[in-house]
């Protein structure tokens, strides 16, 4: 069916403490109301399983479980945990979902507390045990058990996975041209209503206002951005990001303002963007080059923003 014969639709909704957007073209036979319901159900399912803000979520049951007790996992949560553990191993712990304790201590967590000064002093500059050393995951039987005290936080990967789930809904309804987005994580299939690749505006890392720094074309792939400018706290004369470095026991402190990554799935793009943010400019750049990643680093240097791009997608930004 020609793209010109399809009708353009935009659907918005709220989930996971933010908003999602579905931008797509569909034929007359597609039940838009049913599609809308299915999109919400998909992202809400991720939220119900992986939120640290819902005491009854599957993730919080893992966090509150006793040691050495096997817990069953739903397929979606098992898939995300498996991916997270693999990336943690590949990145030598730079990506770590076991930073929930740090997130809470620094006042970014669901506990709603302000900065826990005493706990921060105990953990700062001390390497934290990573999740892969604290949990045993059995993917075949979809179960997990905690072997050491640890709190999992999936904020660096779950939203990307939710976007992938939205794309899965589109495909199940026979929609071949769509853009799904959730809080800066995006995945595109097919083309826009005008027949061209989906044009995606990349956000300028600015603490005060939201503006675009450039536009990229997204072809059947995903892009995610991790940055220091969306969620932070002021400590003295410093702005400290919500992204945690398990090796330092505190927020990421380097000159990366944001890092964007393109991957085949939004879950991978989300997790790799978080990983490179933690690694810093030098190690992150070397890692991105070694793994042939399409990556854009935006760096803070002498009160100016500088760009460092790898791959062929970001070169014209």
Q: Confirm whether 283 is domain-assigned.
A: yes
Same domain, 26 and 167: yes
**Pick from 102, 112, 106, 113: which is nearest to 151 by CA?**
102
Residue 271's pLDDT is what? 98
Query: pLDDT digits over 222-255, tens only?
Result: 999 998 767 656 665 666 767 888 888 778 888 9
Q: What is the domain range of residue 85?
A: 50-146
Q: What is the per-residue DSSP string for 76-141?
A: HHHHHHHHHHHHHHHTTTSS-S--HHHHHHTT-STT-----HHHHHHHTTSPPPPGGGTEEEETTT
Same domain, 178 and 299: yes
Same domain, 199 and 305: yes
Task: Inform me whether the pLDDT recorded for 82 exceeds 90.
Answer: yes
Q: Confirm whether 152 is domain-assigned.
A: no
CATH of the domain at 66: 1.10.3980.10
Same domain, 39 and 182: yes
Task: Inform me whether the pLDDT recorded for 197 exceeds 80.
Answer: yes
Mean pLDDT (whole number) for 129-140: 96
Same domain, 189 and 140: no
Chain centroid to Cα 131, Å, comes to 17
Strand, coil or helix: 237: coil
Same domain, 116 and 229: no
Same domain, 54 and 141: yes
CATH of the domain at 227: 3.10.520.10
Does the annotation list 274 as a binding residue? Answer: yes
Same domain, 25 and 63: no
Does the annotation list 18 as a binding residue? Answer: no
138 C-beta neighbours (distance < 10 Å), count: 13
Query: pLDDT digits over 35-76, tens only?
Result: 999 999 999 999 999 999 999 999 999 999 999 999 999 999
Q: Confirm whether 317 is domain-assigned.
A: no
In DSSP terms, which residues pair with 239 in a beta bridge? 234
Same domain, 161 and 70: no
Same domain, 64 and 135: yes
Same domain, 59 and 37: no
How many domains would you assign to the chain? Answer: 2
Domain C-terminal end among 118, 146, 174: 146
Query: pLDDT digits over 115-130, tens only?
Result: 666 666 565 656 678 9
Same domain, 206 and 114: no
Q: Long-range contacts for 60-63 (Cβ within 8 Å, ≥24 apart)? A: 62/144, 62/146, 62/152, 63/100, 63/151, 63/152
Domain C-terminal end among 98, 120, 146: 146
Show the CA angle centred on residue 237, arms to residues 250 and 245, nearest 5°. Answer: 15
Domain C-terminal end among 121, 146, 171: 146
* Global confidence as pTM: 0.92
Does the annotation list 90 as a binding residue? Answer: no
């Amino acid at each position: 069916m020609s793209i010109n014969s399809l009708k353009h639709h935009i659907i918005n909704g709220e989930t996971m403490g933010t908003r999602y957007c579905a931008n797509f073209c569909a034929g007359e036979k597609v039940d838009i109301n049913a599609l809308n319901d299915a999109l919400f159900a998909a992202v809400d399912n991720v939220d119900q399983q992986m939120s640290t803000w819902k005491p009854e979520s599957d993730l919080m049951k893992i966090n509150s479980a006793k040691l050495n007790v096997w817990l069953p996992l739903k397929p979606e949560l098992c898939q995300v945990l498996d991916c997270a553990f693999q990336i943690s191993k590949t990145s030598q712990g730079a990506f770590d979902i076991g930073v929930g304790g740090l997130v809470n201590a620094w006042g970014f967590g669901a506990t709603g507390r302000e900065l826990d000064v005493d706990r921060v002093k105990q953990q700062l500059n001390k390497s934290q045990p990573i999740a892969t050393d604290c949990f045993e995951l059995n993917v075949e039987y979809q179960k997990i058990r905690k072997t050491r005290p640890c709190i999992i936080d999936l904020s660096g990967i779950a939203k990307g996975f939710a976007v992938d789930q939205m794309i899965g809904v589109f495909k199940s309804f026979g929609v071949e041209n769509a853009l799904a987005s959730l809080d800066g994580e995006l995945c595109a299939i097919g083309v826009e209503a005008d027949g061209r690749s989906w044009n995606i505006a990349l956000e300028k890392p600015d603490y005060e206002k939201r503006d675009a720094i450039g536009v990229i074309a997204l072809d059947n792939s995903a892009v995610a951005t991790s940055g220091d400018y969306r969620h932070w706290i002021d400590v003295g004369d410093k702005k400290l990001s919500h992204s945690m470095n398990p090796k330092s026991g505190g927020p990421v402190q380097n000159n990366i303002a944001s890092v964007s990554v393109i991957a085949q799935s939004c879950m991978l793009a989300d997790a790799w963007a978080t990983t490179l943010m933690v690694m810093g400019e030098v190690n992150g750049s070397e890692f991105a080059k070694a793994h042939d990643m399409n990556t854009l680093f935006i760096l803070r240097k002498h009160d100016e923003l500088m760009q460092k791009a790898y791959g062929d997608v970001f070169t014209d930004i």
